[in-house]
C-alpha cells in the first residue's frame, strides 16, 4: 500500500520491529471504535488492528497485538519495550513519554448520566456530591478533572467496571467519547448522553521514545493511509461507515 520500500529496510525493521514481529499495542472495550478494539472468537478487531496489519505487511513482518485495558496502561509501558507501535489519544503528558505521528481521529468527550438522573447540562452535573467515573490515567479523565470544579472524578481500570457501576446506579456519570457513550446508552435503558462537549480528544499513531526511523516510517504510513483509502476501509470494516475521518481538532 505504501511507497516505502522495505528492500533496504533492515535498519528500519530493527528499529520498529526488533523482535522480528510488529507488536501493536491496543486497548479493549465492548464498543470498539477508531481507538478502542474488541475481542473476537479468533483474536481482535478494530481500526488499530487493521492499521497494524497493513503496517506489518508493508514491513514484510508478522504482526501481533498486545492487549491492554486502557490507553493509560499502553502509555505506562511505552519505555518498557513491550510494544512497537500503537494508536492512541494524544495529550501533552503523553508527548513526554512517546513520539506521535499524524492524527487520524478526533472524538468529542462528554458524559453519560445514570438512569433516573435529572441532569441534562454540564452545570447541573458539576455539583458537590456528584460522582463521575472515568477510565484511569486517560486523556479523557484528565480532561474531566480539569473541567469539573465541584463534582468528584474517580478513575477505574476498565470500561467494563464502569459500565457495571453505571448500570447499577453506583456512579452518577461516566466521562468518555461520545461514540462510546452512545453505544453504552443503548445497553443501559434510562441513561442519557449529555449534548455538550467538554474536550476534543485527538488520536494518533505513536512509537516509543528514541526510535527516529520508526517515527518517520509510521508518519509516512499514516499520511498515505489517510490519502489512499486504507484508513477509510478500516473505518468501514469496523462499523464506522458513517463516521467522517477527522485529522485535526476544531478551534
Q: Judge residue 238's burial from the number of C-beta atoms within 10 Å of its C-beta, 0-12 exposed, 13-18 middle, 19 or more buried.
A: buried
Residues 6+ apart with CB under 8 A from 230: 1, 51, 54, 224
Q: d(Cα 86, Cα 245) in Å, to the nearest integer?
A: 18
Give the three cell numbers for residue 180: 462510546
Q: What is the pLDDT of residue 158?
A: 86
Q: Name residue 40's beta-bridge partners.
A: 43
pTM beyond cutoff 0.85: no
Rounded CA separation 55/17 (Å): 11
Q: Give the mean pLDDT per block of 10 residues along the chain (251 residues).
A: 51 94 93 88 95 97 96 93 96 94 95 98 98 93 96 93 96 93 93 96 95 97 97 95 86 48
**Dihedral-angle region of residue 129 (phi above 0 means left; psi in -120 to 50 means alpha; beta otherwise):** left
Q: Is 135 helix (H, G, I), strand (E, B) or coil?
A: strand
Per the CB < 8 A criterion, the answer to whether 86 and 74 are in contact is yes
pLDDT of residue 250: 65
pLDDT of residue 32: 77
Q: φ, ψ for residue 166 (rounded to 5)?
A: -70, -45
Q: What is the pLDDT of residue 6?
A: 47
Amino acid at each position: 500500500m505504501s511507497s516505502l520500500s522495505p528492500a533496504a529496510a533492515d535498519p528500519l525493521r530493527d528499529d520498529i520491529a526488533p523482535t522480528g514481529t510488529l507488536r501493536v499495542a491496543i486497548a479493549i472495550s465492548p464498543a470498539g471504535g477508531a481507538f478502542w478494539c474488541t475481542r473476537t472468537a479468533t483474536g481482535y478487531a478494530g481500526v488499530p488492528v487493521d492499521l497494524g496489519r497493513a503496517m506489518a505487511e508493508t514491513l514484510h513482518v508478522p504482526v501481533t497485538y498486545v492487549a491492554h485495558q486502557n490507553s493509560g496502561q499502553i502509555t505506562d509501558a511505552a519505555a518498557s519495550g513491550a510494544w512497537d507501535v500503537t494508536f492512541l489519544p494524544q495529550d501533552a503528558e503523553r508527548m513526554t513519554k512517546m513520539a506521535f505521528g499524524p492524527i487520524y481521529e478526533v472524538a468529542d468527550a462528554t458524559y453519560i448520566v445514570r438512569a433516573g438522573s435529572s441532569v441534562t447540562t454540564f452545570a447541573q452535573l458539576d455539583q458537590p456530591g456528584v460522582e463521575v467515573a472515568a477510565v484511569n490515567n486517560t486523556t479523557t479523565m484528565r480532561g474531566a478533572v480539569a473541567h469539573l470544579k465541584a463534582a468528584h472524578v474517580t478513575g477505574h481500570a476498565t470500561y467494563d467496571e464502569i459500565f457495571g457501576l453505571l448500570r447499577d446506579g453506583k456512579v452518577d456519570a461516566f466521562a468518555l467519547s461520545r461514540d462510546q457513550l452512545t453505544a453504552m446508552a443503548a445497553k443501559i435503558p434510562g441513561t442519557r448522553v449529555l449534548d455538550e462537549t467538554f474536550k476534543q480528544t485527538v488520536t494518533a499513531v505513536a512509537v516509543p521514545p528514541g526510535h527516529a526511523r520508526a517515527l518517520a516510517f509510521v508518519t509516512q504510513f499514516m499520511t498515505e493511509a489517510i490519502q489512499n483509502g486504507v484508513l477509510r476501509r478500516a473505518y468501514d470494516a469496523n462499523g464506522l461507515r458513517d463516521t467522517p475521518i477527522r485529522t485535526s481538532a476544531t478551534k
